[in-house]
């Protein structure tokens, strides 16, 4: 597994997109990522294979993508932080 400093900008963008889509309760699959990044499905497939290989994501039998603990850490976030941030977002929006 690579260190945080050696992550490419593209890998960081994919991890961030997967996180954000999951946070919005979207099902994360390659086709949705291809739409988001305006790239071809084979391009996304190659990146997802790389992210699986490097231990940042897992894909289930339906090809749904989830971040692993390593994927969350590479983003600079522990798995539990998602819920804390999501709660803060809810509170912040209520204050506005």
What CATH number did the domain enclosing 21 receive? 1.10.10.10
How many structural domains comprise the chain?
Answer: 1
32-80 tens-digit pLDDT: 999 999 999 999 999 999 999 999 999 999 999 999 999 999 887 544 5
Q: How far apart are CA 35 and CA 70, in angstroms?
A: 25
The domain containing residue 83 runs over which residues?
A: 4-95
Run of H or E residues at 95: helix 81-95
17-29 tens-digit pLDDT: 999 999 999 999 9
pLDDT higher than 50, residue 88: no
pTM, two decimal places = 0.73
């Amino acid at each position: 597994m690579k260190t945080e400093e050696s992550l490419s900008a593209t890998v960081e963008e994919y991890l961030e997109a997967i996180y954000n889509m999951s946070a919005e309760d979207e099902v994360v699959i390659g086709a949705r990522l291809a739409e988001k990044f305006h790239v071809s499905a084979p391009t996304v497939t190659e990146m997802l294979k790389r992210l699986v290989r490097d231990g940042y994501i897992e894909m289930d039998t339906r090809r749904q993508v989830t971040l692993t603990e390593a994927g969350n850490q590479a983003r600079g976030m522990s798995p539990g932080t998602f819920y804390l941030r999501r709660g803060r977002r809810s509170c912040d929006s209520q204050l506005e």
